[in-house]
Amino acid sequence: MNYYSTNGKVSGVSLRQAVIKGLADDKGLFMPDVIKRLPQAFFDTIDTLSFQEMAYTVADAFFGEDVEADALKRIVYETLNFDVPLVKVSNPIYSLELFHGPTLAFKDVGARFMSRLLAYFVNREGDDVNVLVATSGDTGSAVANGFLGVEGVHVYVLYPKGLVSPIQECQFTTLGQNITALEVDGTFDDCQALVKKAFMDKPLNAKMKLTSANSINVARFLPQAFYYFYAYAQLKKLGRADNVVVCVPSGNFGNITAGLFGKRMGLPIKRFIAANNRNDIFLHYLRTGNYVPRPSVATIANAMDVGDPSNFARVLDLYNGSHEAICADISGCSYDDNQIAESLKRCFEETGYLLDPHGACGYRALCEGLTAGETGVFLETAHPAKFKETVEKIIGTEVAVPAKLQAFMQGEKQSVPMAKTFEAFKSYLMADK
């Protein structure tokens, strides 16, 4: 299958080229030429399939033309070596727990899949690849751990100094080997801007082959569609598969875009809710039809602190720029820190279920936005222990740290201080090679 750019000046790009390049030459994001609709028979029997079986069917629709069946199946099965359970929080609201992977965050799915798909292409070509990834927290840890030790791949993780949780920082600064952590004196938006500029710099690209593992990469965001299908299958087993509303805590919008792709493939989701913190650029678009990026604001739901969501371009392209069509499928909401904390505490006290700050946005949106007869699913995108200090302060009770996280916290921090200027970043990369 070929891919084209959302900016409309690049087309006919192979999957291999799209994955390795990450960003199109015209600065747009890659989109598949076709989004295949899955047969009704698949949805009729979806509740009888394992997570891996179901995901392979979805993966085949995207990647089957370009990757041998055995290799693709191996990639899917290795990626999904953990469960993504649907847990009832209150009637009729369910949490899709995406924190059972190695770094306890939803990005484990996309990062693990991309690392294996990129290795598949790199091993066939024999050329080393350098992965650039900007992170507001969870992306860095998921990508770093997904690519750790992968031969022929070096990962540079750019993160904003002092703006990720201590546990998140430990997950990508203590690894070493082929992982380099760059501590940028700026915001997430500054980190993301450095990555984008790097792809456009001809001298830099002439010296080193670059790609991105942010959700701008098709191999990162498309696999995130897997768990939307799995959530539906679990609801079907419970007899709750009608009138499903999915609420996605949204930052860079790769996660909700993957869900929209699933809907386009035939997944019977009635509608989506994009839950924002104070960085409510998308909500403003829904209300006005105008997309106005602005500098991000720091919140307790830090992984959503994005002032210019990259994947908005994909949403716009998916709906042919129609504001009316986007609003028909997606509504939005925004919450400040006090509201997020209030929802987290109330949910814990009333149900016993402990949310992370991002999941709290999703839960609150469903509590406020569901109508009669609808079943709500929110994405619990990370384990609450990844935000231990924040969550403990809110609920007044200690949060146990899973063994997986404790192991990261015992490592020694290895990071490189970095100014937020592109000149400093480029000089470092050129010197490192």
Domain chopping of the chain, boundaries: 83-105+221-402
Q: Which of 37, 35, 29 is nearest to 8 (CA)?
A: 29
Higher-confidence residue: 402 or 167?
402
Which among 134, 100, 114, 421 is positioned nearest to 251, based on CA atoms? 134
Mean pLDDT of 79-87: 97
Residue predicted with more confidence, 432 or 110: 110
Peptide bond into 402 cis (omega under 30): no
| Cβ burial, residue 264 (10 Å; 0-12/13-18/19+) | middle
Q: Is 79 strand, coil or helix?
A: helix
State the pLDDT confidence band at 433, using cuts at 50, 70 and 90. Answer: low
User: What secondary structure letter does DSSP report for 304?
Assistant: G
Domain 83-105+221-402, second-level architecture:
3-Layer(aba) Sandwich (3.40)
36 tagged catalytic: no
Q: Is residue 161 over pLDDT 80?
A: yes
Q: Positive or negative, the Cα torsion across 392, 395, 398, 400?
A: negative
Q: What is the mean pLDDT of residues 46-63?
A: 98
**pLDDT score at 137:** 72
Over 90: is that where the pLDDT of 381 sits?
yes
pLDDT tens track for 398-412: 999 999 888 888 888
What is the arithmetic mean of pLDDT over 327-340?
98
Torsion-angle region of residue 253: left (phi > 0), alpha (psi -120 to 50) or beta? Answer: left
For 88-114, the pLDDT digits (tens) are 999 999 999 999 998 899 989 998 999
Statement: residue 359 has pLDDT above 70: yes
Residue 63 has pLDDT above 80, yes or no: yes
Whole-angstrom Cα distance, residue 62 to residue 32? 8
Q: What is the percentage of the chain residues whose pLDDT exceeds 70?
A: 99
Place of tokens 């399939």: 49
Residue with the larger pLDDT of the pair 23 and 183: 183
d(CA 406, CA 294): 36
Amino acid found at 140 = G
- From the list 9, 27, 107, 209, the catalytic residue is 107
- Does residue 364 carry a pLDDT above 90? yes
pLDDT of residue 383: 94
Give per-residue pLDDT as tens, 198-214: 988 999 999 998 888 87
Q: Mean pLDDT over all residues of the chain?
A: 93
| Beta bridge partner(s), residue 332 | 274
- The C-alpha atoms of residue 295 and residue 76 are separated, in whole angstroms, by 37
Q: Which of 63-77, 114-128, 292-306 has the highest mean pLDDT?
A: 63-77
3-state secondary structure of 421: coil
